[in-house]
Chains A and B, each alone.
Chain A
Amino acid sequence: MIVSHPHLDLLQYLPNMVFIALPDGKVLFYNKKWNQYTGAKLVEGKEWPPKEITHPTDLRNSNTQFLKQIHKGKIFEIENRYLQLDGTYRWFSNYFEPVKDAAGTISFWVGTAMDIEDSKHLATEIANRNQQLEEIEIKFTKLILNSSFPIAVFRGENLIAEIANEAYFPIVGKSKNEFLGKPLFDSLPEIKETVAPIIEEVIRSGNTFTSDEFGVNLNPTGTANFRYFNFIYEAVRDSNGNINGVMTTAMDVTEQVLARKALEESEAHLELLRDTVPAMIFYLDNQQRYQSYNSTFMEWYKVDSETAIGKTVLEFIGPDAYKKVMPQLRKAYAGQNVQYEMTAPSRIGPQRWLSIVYTPHFNTKGEILGIIVHATDITKSKQIEISLRESEHRFRSLIEEAPVATCLFMGPEMKVVIANDMMLKEWGKDASVIGKPFKDAVPELIGQPFLGLLDQVFATGEAYSESAAPATLEIDGELQVSYYNYTYKPLFDENGAVYGIMDMAYNVTENVLANQKLEASEKELRDLINASPIGICVVTGSPIKVVEVNERFLHISGKTRAQYDEMPYWETLEEVAHLFESEMNRVFETGNRYTTEEHKMMLIRDGIEETIFLTFEYIPILNASQMVSKVIVMAFEVTHQVEIRKKIEAAVTQRTKELAEANNNLQRSNSALEQFAHIASHDLQEPVRKISTYANMLEIKIGETIDGKAKMYLDKISISAERMSALIRDVLAFSEVSHHLDSMEMVDLQQLLQEIEIDFELQIEKKGAIITYKGLPTLPAIPTQMLQLFSNLLSNSLKYTQTNTHPRIDISSRILSKNEIKEKGLLENQHYHCITFADNGIGFDEHQAERIFKIFQRLHGKTEYEGTGIGLALCRKIVYNHQGDISAKPGQNGGAVFTIILPI
């Protein structure tokens, strides 16, 4: 044994996957971690790597490498992939170290497998990033080299020229070879003083700097070619984002510089002139001839002191210019003081503006001697005036073309100076309002806040704006309310005083109305939710928070609105979170609603533990992307109902039980009673029969020898015994009626009556009775009971006959109508036969109709009509037993009519 067991046990505690291999490459032992990480039970005694978990691609290569390396006997590493518990492969580094004995021979190898999946990913990522960076760098370089702008990049502390394109070299006056790879200030020491601080600042701050209009002679050896450049200095960063250089881009601004310089020069000249040139003053005589002029005149016209003297204006300035001045001159020669402005050509500019004043020169007689002309160069002020006019024009067209309703008010009276079509349309007015004060232009605004606000803006100079402000305006002769977002912006003159207000208004009536509608409907919904007798609460997900909750819900849950506002839903309802939190989460995840009815739970309501029953639902609300954004909780407390129902259920159960018991008792006592009647009748029959028999035998034996009285006594015994026997027989029959309920079959009453007629043949013949029956039905019944029923009725009719009259019995049948069924209180979904059994016997009084059906009730003495008083009671019992009914009434012409109702 090379490695003893205790050592192996020790390896079990290592956090890594460790194994021991023999010098021949066979693995002696894998520690437990292998099983824990891979889930595989590795077979020991095979060459490394373990086939069960090694990636098939790596298997052969790993094994070959392994065998090759263990021969060398030195520490080595092999990377391969092992299958993990989750079914994925991860990269491992297997580290092998030989363990040698004293003689230096390898006893065994210790292998450790380390998960390097993550670091491997990292390495790949770094490589990818580097490659991307390189690509960017290459692109960057290409961009620079292809640019027509001169660009150069300088890097490092010495600002080595790393890249520069062809356009750049002429600027610095160096060739490519002279410039690239060298420090910037070695190549160009002359710019160090100005440029070095800029570059330093760029590298320090990362900001971009521009040095303006740097003049460069691009042809230092030949004819000077001065160009001006703006140099832009930008920071250049390494892959870690640290600034390690600058990029310089040169913009050729020579044209602009030269143009500006020329302008500056000419302006300077002009200024000089303006400052030094006073007004031209000259005198014209009454023939429009120049009599005298000052030096300014000479300078202006470039003439000497002689040239113009004596010349007429027409001669001196030419016919074209004369045409312009002639009307004014005429006025002046007519004696008026004239002042006008005009443009005139000048040597110091293409056109100059002159303000010209003609003052007529009168003699004492009032005759005009000549005109003193005073002309001043007013070009500059004229230009200002023109530009002002232009800007006003621009402003006006700006307002008129503005895409929103805009107008301009001027002065404290708020005169409408400009109002674009949109504004006029909003006001419901036309262009005639322009020029009027606002309160006259739109008089319906008086009493509304706008006029006051305009005054306020005019007074304070502070702009005012408002959103969705209602304004009542008369449009098409009707006062209408519209809503505006508007701004009153004060306009200031050069002294900072307010001279006008610009009003820009945007009609938002539709939005406001839509919002109002929305708000109204939201309010309605909220009111509805609040007024609902069902607890309603709307929650949003992660963490679940209440966004809307009604009073009823607060009441049911026994929590305050503040509790729901401050804490997540399940913290507020902590005591039931274990029951329903996961259900609610499921609703959020799946979008399936959750419903539970009469759920029993313990809730802490206002600090008191209460066991309640709730019926509630979680209803998911989907957003546009079909995700559950909210869940509505609808809760209905049913504690009271459940309690009442439980009480009712308990009571019903109790009553049902009691009823069942009572039924059992009743059944028991009923059957006991019937059994008793049955047995009693049987047992009673015996002695009675014997009394009869022995009385009869006694009569046979001694009948001849006894006197009349004794014989009568004997007869009385016999008669009583017979009667008793009949009574018992009938009671027995009565007690047995309710038996045999199962022996129902179709009974043909027509045929039954025929049989009964045969049974009663003797009596019928004796009494001369006439019995009619026709079309009697066949119906489901117990045959013996039907026999008994009709036998009894027939026997009854044959018994209670009137003397000296032939008995007549008529039996007929019909089917009961729906109305009759209803009237009689029978089952409405059942059809019934109605059989009438009428005789012409002695009949009975109406008030006795019920009594005749009672057992042992007799209307007549026994001597008059024999009978036991059971017959009709038995008939009723039979009919009842068939779910039918029997009743009797006196016949119209005497006799009795029995009505028997039996189900079809």
Chain B
Amino acid sequence: MLIDDDLDDQEIFVLAVEEISSELKCIICHNSDEALRQLQENQTEVDVVFLDWNLPGSSGYEILMQLKSISGMENVPIIIFSTSSDQQTMQKAFDLGASDFITKPNRLHLLVASLTPILT
């Protein structure tokens, strides 16, 4: 699952995922509310969540905590997806239970390279 409000990033992300494997299924959510609703409905289908750190409305920290608090989500890895690579932000995300922190790259093949170890 990808939670990102940026349509371009959604597209690039989907392209990257398709490049890795056509069998992978992507659920795209535009905001945290949508994501939370879907996860509460069918949690079992999600293997990994990519969360954009800068979403409108709630802050990344809040959403991260909300996601973690959903039952059954405790062990699902949540990977932070962000433009920034700020050390402090990263540390805080890890402290709150994020599994990884990927800076949004400006090359498709770099994104593919970043996602491959996670999705295979």
Contacts and interface: CB of A to CB of B under 8 A. Distances in A.
B15 to A, nearest CB: 8
A682 B89 CA distance: 13
A696 interface: yes
B108 A700 contact: yes
A696 B106 contact: yes
A725 B108 CA distance: 16
A429 to B, nearest CB: 115
Contacts of A685: 83-84
A784 interface: yes
A696 B12 CA distance: 12
A88 to B, nearest CB: 86
Nearest to A689: B106
Contacts of B87: 784
Given A686-B6, A689-B83, A740 B88 contact: yes
Given A682-B54, A686-B6, A740-B88, A692 B83 contact: no
Contacts of B105: 689, 693
Interface string B66-78: 0000000000000
A690 interface: yes
Interface string B60-97: 00000000000000000000000110111000000000
B104 A689 contact: yes
B88 A696 contact: no
A15 B106 CA distance: 114
Contacts of B104: 689
Interface in A769-792: 784
A78 B20 CA distance: 130
Contacts of A696: 106-109
Contacts of A692: 106-107
B41 interface: no
A721 interface: yes
A722 B83 contact: no
A688 B83 CA distance: 11
Contacts of B12: 693, 697
A682 B107 contact: no
B23 interface: no
A349 B114 CA distance: 174
B45 interface: no
Nearest to B12: A693
B119 to A, nearest CB: 19
A693 B86 contact: no
Contacts of B54: 682
A736 interface: yes
Range, interface on chain A: 10 to 19
Interface string A675-718: 00000001001101110110011001000000000000000000
A686 B83 contact: yes
A690 B83 contact: no
Nearest to B106: A692
A312 B8 CA distance: 194
B54 to A, nearest CB: 7
Interface string A722-752: 1001000000100010001000000000000
Contact of B86 (A721, A725, A736): A736
A725 B104 CA distance: 12
A697 B108 contact: yes
A858 to B, nearest CB: 24
Contacts of A722: 106
Contacts of A682: 54, 83-84
A697 B54 CA distance: 24
Interface string B92-120: 00000000000011111100000000000
Nearest to A696: B107
Nearest to B111: A693
Contacts of A689: 83, 104-106
A798 B55 CA distance: 39
Nearest to B91: A784
B104 to A, nearest CB: 6
A688 B12 CA distance: 15
A693 B106 contact: yes
B59 to A, nearest CB: 13
A721 B106 CA distance: 9
B52 to A, nearest CB: 11
Contacts of B8: 690, 693
B107 to A, nearest CB: 5
Contacts of A688: 106
A265 B33 CA distance: 165
Contacts of A784: 87-88
Nearest to B85: A729
A87 to B, nearest CB: 80
A700 to B, nearest CB: 7
A278 to B, nearest CB: 161
B83 A693 contact: no
Nearest to A695: B106
A682 B55 CA distance: 12
A692 B107 CA distance: 7
A693 B11 CA distance: 11
Most buried by B among A689, A697, A784: A689
A610 to B, nearest CB: 67
Most buried by B among A682, A693, A721: A693
Contacts of B88: 740, 784
A697 B86 CA distance: 27
A285 to B, nearest CB: 173
Interface in A317-349: none
A460 to B, nearest CB: 121
Contacts of B109: 696
Nearest to B88: A740
B84 A725 contact: no
Contacts of B83: 682, 685-686, 689
B73 to A, nearest CB: 28
A693 B107 contact: yes
Given A682-B54, A682-B84, A784-B87, A693 B6 contact: no
A693 B108 contact: yes
A692 B84 CA distance: 16
B106 to A, nearest CB: 3
Most buried by A among B83, B87, B105, B108: B83
A725 to B, nearest CB: 7
A722 B106 CA distance: 9
Interface string A828-870: 0000000000000000000000000000000000000000000
Contacts of A732: 84, 86
Contacts of B107: 692-693, 696
A740 B89 CA distance: 12
Nearest to A691: B106
B106 A725 contact: yes
Nearest to B104: A689
A722 B108 CA distance: 14
A338 B66 CA distance: 169
Nearest to B6: A686
A442 to B, nearest CB: 114
Nearest to A788: B87
Interface string A783-811: 01000000000000000000000000000
Nearest to A718: B106
Most buried by A among B8, B84, B106, B108: B106
Interface in B37-63: 54
Interface string B1-43: 0000010100010000000000000000000000000000000
Given A686-B83, A693-B105, A697-B12, 15 more contacts: A682-B84, A685-B83, A688-B106, A689-B106, A690-B8, A692-B106, A693-B8, A693-B107, A696-B107, A696-B108, A696-B109, A697-B108, A721-B106, A732-B84, A740-B88
Interface of B: 6, 8, 12, 54, 83-84, 86-88, 104-109
5 shortest A-B CB distances, which residue pairs?
A692-B106, A689-B106, A685-B83, A696-B107, A693-B106
7 contacts: A686-B83, A689-B105, A689-B106, A696-B109, A697-B12, A697-B108, A740-B88
Interface of A: 682, 685-686, 688-690, 692-693, 696-697, 700, 721-722, 725, 732, 736, 740, 784
